[in-house]
Structure 1
């Protein structure tokens, strides 16, 4: 059984704790200075504590799930050995910065909130595969291994991406409501449509264009809607949203270059 400590139990840290509670292969300790946050985690982990030292003393894997500006102070409180692994998920914080403050093996991860339901999309950067981290990530969803210089892109794509998807789901819901559908029904159908389409993409070897063509048959209803999308600049807007999020991640990274 892997012993895991999660330092920082906000939205993302809480999602990690809750996601790991779905399986019986990890002993999880939640650590935060906010006692209200810890109280919310109690049903999902073996132990809660405000003491970083006790939370991490026997941990195989330590997740640092705090905001970028808090990473430095948290690292100053950690005393990890080379046998332990520290996983940082803070946007824009390079592994080199973290490695300069710990003896532990350092892994950089960009997860997303779907970790809570075991459907996370994550990008990981490491010097060598870490069996304990791999086991944790396998239980939280899907992950890909990337070079660290692509982590800003991953931050935008799968880290910020859920918000972009929620925006599109909301737009589809509102369109259906404008046509007379009940809002709750529209929300369910829109969300399930995204879920089913995404699952199809993951299971299919067909290109995305071929999958579009399979739905948008000549003379049917779908192609009428696709013509509107093809004639719009929605693809540019989505790309711009991704680029803006990636640029912000690069700005955050710059703050650690000289430290």
Structure 2
């Protein structure tokens, strides 16, 4: 599988297209919006508004909104030797399989695909040709279908939650007198470095927190504020709310 079509060149579709531009795969971008095609023209090998042309690739990625996915599916004529992958939140594989002869899978990626730093969940396990393509864009975790709503909340919606936290740290720096660019640089690199530290270590996250917290030091004072507050509860509630919405979207598509 050396050719991929991405149908839908919005935020997520364009991130996948730009990420794949740095890989070995040939990419066709498809959208009815000429402006969207122009925006990815420098990254895609070809652009087209013709869905039949996009449907010729061994792997066809549907990066369209859940409310139009069945309409797009009905316009696609795929064969059993092709693979169809949807990145539409909440749209389950049985909805896809009922409308195509292709092998189907779902991917919940995030915008970091553009930089090869994507975190993605994929179902069902075992669609190895598609998994190999997406693994070129970052980390892919294979999950059972019932966990995809939760993955949608964690790694799909999660970047927005992290952006919110970065902004809070940046704002604290600016309000304390820092130059905004300096505060942004420190906040963003702190999150990146912290994530890299966790990825490269096999110790529990609690142990990593302890490693930063010197007795009677600055970090432990800040951690007491977080432990005594509801930061963790609020973040978990945000994930639960996003997961619930993913389930609602699935029900809306199922009833079409």
Q: Which interval holds the TM-score relative to the shorter structure?
A: over 0.9
Q: Deviations over 1:91-120 (max 9, x none)?
A: 111100010000000011100000000000
Once residues 176 and 220 of structure 2 are traced to their aligned partners in structure 1, the CA distance between those partners, rounded to angstroms, is 19
Q: Which residue of 1 aligns with 2:105?
A: 107
Confirm or deny that 1:146 pairs with 2:143: yes
Match of 1:55 in 2: 54
* Deviations 1:195-252 (CA, angstroms, capped at 9, x unpaired): 0100111111010100000001112111111111111011111011110000000111
Question: Residue 64 of structure 1 aligns with which residue?
Answer: 62
- Structure 1 contact 87–106 (Cα < 8 Å) conserved: yes
SS in 1 for 2:100: coil
| CA distance in structure 2 between the aligned counterparts of 1:155 and 1:88, rounded to whole angstroms | 13
Q: Deviations over 1:158-205 (max 9, x none)?
A: 000000000000000011111111111100110000001001111110
Gaps of 5+ in 1: none
| Residues in 2 aligned to 1:142 and 1:6: alpha-carbon distance in whole angstroms | 19
Please report the TM-score for the alignment, with normalisation by the length of structure 1. 0.97
TM-score by length of 2: 0.98
1:46 Cα shift? 0.9
- Kept after mapping to 2: 8 A contact 1:110/1:154: yes
Q: Which runs of 4+ in 1 moved over 6 A?
A: none
> What is the alpha-carbon distance in structure 2 between the residues aligned to residue 251 and residue 130 of structure 1?
26
Q: Is the Cα contact below 8 Å between 1:31 and 1:55 reproduced in 2? A: yes
What corresponds to 1:8 in structure 2?
Answer: 8
Contact between 1:93 and 1:256, CA under 8 Å: does it hold in 2?
yes
SS in 1 for 2:26: strand
Structure 2 unmatched runs, 5+: none
Which of 183, 188, 191 is the equivalent residue of 2:188?
191
Counterpart of 2:44?
Answer: 45
Q: Does 1:119 align with 2:117?
A: yes
Distance 1:67 1:135 in 2: 24
Structure-2 residue corresponding to 1:19:
19
Deviation of the 1:3 alpha carbon: 0.6
How many angstroms does 1:258 deviate by? 4.1
